[in-house]
Structure 1
Amino acid sequence: MSEIVKLSPRFVQIKGKDTVMLKVKGLKSEKAVNIDTLLVLSVLIFMSWFYYGWRVVIVTLISVASAYISDIICVKLCGKKYEKDDLSAVVGGVLMALMMPASVPYHIVILANIFAITLGKQFFGGKEHNIFNPVIVGYLLSAICWKDLVLKYPKPEEMLPLTSAVENPLSVSLTQTLTYAPTPSNTIVDIVLGKFYGPMGTTHIFLILICACILSFRHSTSGLTFFCGTVTIAVLAYLYPAFGITRAESVFYELSSGTVLFSLLFFAGDYYTVPKTISTRIVYGVLIGVVTVLFQRLGNTENAILYAILISNPIAISLDDNAFSFRKLWDEIVEDMKASKTKTVEKKK
């Protein structure tokens, strides 16, 4: 009797005579991955609170609540039962909050999560059928609708009021600053510690790298995709420098700006959309890196990596399907060769 094996919400195969099981080393359950992700995200929330004050906590709570409630309503409207231990909306709400400036009006956070859940997640049938990363969909739509409020940021270490509207002076991100000046006024130490204009949770470069190591070690993200994407962007930044004076500075600024490391870790390595085999994860990471640099060079796009991941998401599904077909074909060839060899030996006897 064939055995049904569920590798992920999107990758189910039947283990039998005519099919093959593609093993993923260290595969964890969805709930375990989400819990690990929330734990490391809590560190980024703490650092954001340290730089901007209690407004960060309010934005995060509003974001999580709006994402969770929107998800429940959509599931109920579809006539389905909501899973009580489903943490996907909570993780998405935290990620959405950390992608926003600390000064973002509260209503924009709510609408961004409604966009994410309705258009990015439930429109395609829910988390098990995600084609695009819902958080990216919601964030980009909000950035298009309210550009000046989503893509301009307060100064770090400047406490913000708790009211929805913030009157503190706002500035463009490090990416846009580098467009006009070869080197920013921020020191390398400041950039590593996250003391520069940008989304409140994505500027903590040093902490994000530590989070990447923890999640990769615990098999709660695709460390391979993160590594390949990072290396690809670094190599292209070295070969075709756009920022800084030296090639080394170009690599540093390319990886530090535009939410690159944060997006590679939490969006490119997303449990629901990342490819499921080693080879496809390598291809996926390289593809995201190449498309990111192309967007950055050709269009000077703000947060270019988000568009790169959005474009690469559907390709990930195709990569998995092709990998499975190729593996199945290869195993059939090997079986035929073994059978042929066995027959030859029997004839000699």
Structure 2
Amino acid sequence: MLKKRRKERLIWLDIMITLLTLELMSYFYYGVRSVVLAGVCVVTAVIAELISLRLMKRSFTADDLTCTSDALIIALMFPAVMDYKAAAIVTVFAVVVAKNIFGGRLNMIFSPAAAAYIFALTSWGRQLLQYTEPHIKTGVFEHPTGLVNSASHIFNMTGSVEHTDFELLLGNFSGPTGAVSILLLIVAAFVLIFRRSISAGAFIGTVFGTSFFAVVTPMVTSRAASLKYSLIMNMVLFSAIYIVSDVRIAPKRNYYAFFYGLFIGVISYVLVLTEAKENAIVIVSVLFTPIALGFKNLEKKIENAYSEHLSETVSEPDGSLITGKAGDEHE
């Protein structure tokens, strides 16, 4: 148990380091407003976690600080100028409703950040999908002006992207503060997979599913451009790392996790292609919760069957193995 807790804390630390790196890039593009927004989400998450656990007569431990990573993910899916009150309400929803009511930290069935994003989309949809241009910095309490649609929205509606590959790689285009830094996201994916802090199977499955359909049924004339933009736009890469590949949610075995990610990648691409649904992958990741649960139940059945098989096996002094039934007959 102690070893498992230590591993969970290391995973949380790895996730936090990569998220803070994305937040630093967000500060570079959007100024202190994005940092304050992240702070509001993190502080609100800790307070909500503490109060909700007390109401459920549970003690608050260091392990419950994992709520801060969910809060940072939420902040990085927001525009830098998201209303603080709305951000706080959404974060409370993530901690209290999406996580603790549905079983808490040890029994999560879907990503709290993804569920919270859907809640924000239904309640503050217009504000959630309006962004400032990079390098236009809004004051901490200043009312935002000159808001624009995201590059993902323009791509979904017109099939065109008015940015160079270099700008796209560095995140110099409008969109959620943490989902546009493509170069950092690629580095984060490699680091987290190497550290086994995210599900490699789920990540590869999501990328493969999106890429395959982007080539087979391209959104633009060029298949190469369709592949590139389908991974960069609509928070696909960000969600593949921090939502779909969350080890708390994804199946443990990479084989099952691959198909879990594959289904999410394919369906979200189809929604973007047919409905021009912006950031569809976040919605699909929550809708596909039953599939993740199904794979996990299958994994448990396999593990139980294997354990029963081992328990029925008896080792003879000479090293030969016989089943429990054979052993009874021998006696």
230-239 vs 168-177, greater mean Cα deviation: 168-177
- Cα distance in 1 for partners of 2:257, 2:13 equals 22
- Cα distance in 1 for partners of 2:59, 2:302 equals 37
Deviation per CA, 1:110-132, whole angstroms, max 9, x where unpaired? Answer: 01101111220111121112112
1:238 Cα shift? 0.4
The answer to whether residue 28 in structure 2 is matched with residue 36 in structure 1 is no
Q: 2:105 aligns with which of 109, 127, 145?
A: 127
The answer to whether residue 67 in structure 2 is matched with residue 67 in structure 1 is no
Q: Tell me if structure 2 keeps the 8 A contact 1:105–1:165.
A: no
Q: 2:60 aligns with which of 55, 58, 82?
A: 82
Q: What is the identity, as a one-letter code, of the residue corresponding to 2:266?
A: V
Q: 2:290 aligns with which of 311, 314, 333?
A: 314
48-57 vs 276-285, greater mean Cα deviation: 276-285
Q: Which residue of 2 aligns with 1:250?
A: 226
**Counterpart of 1:163 in 2: which secondary structure?**
coil
- Cα distance in 2 for partners of 1:301, 1:215 equals 28
Q: Tell me if structure 1 keeps the 8 A contact 2:9–2:63.
A: yes
Q: Tell me if structure 2 keeps the 8 A contact 1:53–1:160.
A: yes
Matches within 5 A, 1:17-166: 29-163=7-141, 165-166=143-144
Q: Tell me if structure 1 keeps the 8 A contact 2:41–2:72.
A: yes
**Counterpart of 1:249 in 2: which secondary structure?**
helix
Q: Which residue of 2 aligns with 1:225?
A: 202
Q: What is the identity, as a one-letter code, of the residue corresponding to 1:176?
A: H
254-263 vs 288-297, greater mean Cα deviation: 288-297
Matches within 5 A, 1:173-184: 173-184=150-161
Larger proportion of helix? 2
- Structure 2: unaligned runs, 5 residues or longer: 314-320, 327-331
Q: Which residue of 2 aligns with 1:210?
A: 187
Q: Tell me if structure 2 keeps the 8 A contact 1:258–1:303.
A: yes
Q: 2:261 aligns with which of 285, 292, 311?
A: 285
Q: Tell me if structure 1 keeps the 8 A contact 2:45–2:95.
A: yes
After TM superposition, the score normalised by the length of structure 2 is: 0.89
Q: Which residue of 2 aligns with 1:298?
A: 274
- Cα distance in 2 for partners of 1:303, 1:8 equals 34
- Cα distance in 1 for partners of 2:59, 2:115 equals 25
1:164 Cα shift? 5.7
Q: 2:243 aligns with which of 256, 263, 267?
A: 267
Q: Call closer, same or farther: CA 1:180–1:85 in 2, change over 3 Å.
A: closer
The answer to whether residue 156 in structure 2 is matched with residue 197 in structure 1 is no
1:339 Cα shift? 4.8
- Cα distance in 1 for partners of 2:20, 2:78 equals 16
Q: Call closer, same or farther: CA 1:32–1:184 in 2, change over 3 Å.
A: same
Question: How many residue pairs were aligned?
Answer: 318
- Cα distance in 2 for partners of 1:313, 1:164 equals 39
**Counterpart of 2:143 in 1: which secondary structure?**
coil
- Cα distance in 1 for partners of 2:299, 2:62 equals 34
Q: Call closer, same or farther: CA 1:56–1:312 in 2, change over 3 Å.
A: same
Q: What is the identity, as a one-letter code, of the residue corresponding to 1:304?
A: A
Q: Which residue of 2 aligns with 1:170?
A: 147
Deviation per CA, 1:51-109, whole angstroms, max 9, x where unpaired? Answer: 01111110111110011111111111111111134221111111111110001111111
Q: Tell me if structure 1 keeps the 8 A contact 2:150–2:174.
A: yes
The CA RMSD measured in Å over matched residues stands at 2.3
Matches within 5 A, 1:229-244: 229-242=206-219, 244=220
After TM superposition, the score normalised by the length of structure 1 is: 0.85
- Cα distance in 1 for partners of 2:142, 2:65 equals 27
- Cα distance in 2 for partners of 1:245, 1:299 equals 18
Q: Tell me if structure 1 keeps the 8 A contact 2:131–2:149.
A: yes
1:7 Cα shift? 9.8
Q: Which residue of 2 aligns with 1:22?
A: none
Deviation per CA, 1:24-73, whole angstroms, max 9, x where unpaired? Answer: xxxx7211111111111111011000001111110111110011111111
Q: What is the identity, as a one-letter code, of the residue corresponding to 2:28?
A: F
- Structure 1: unaligned runs, 5 residues or longer: 10-27, 344-349
Q: Tell me if structure 2 keeps the 8 A contact 1:31–1:87.
A: no
1:299 Cα shift? 2.4
**Counterpart of 2:177 in 1: which secondary structure?**
coil
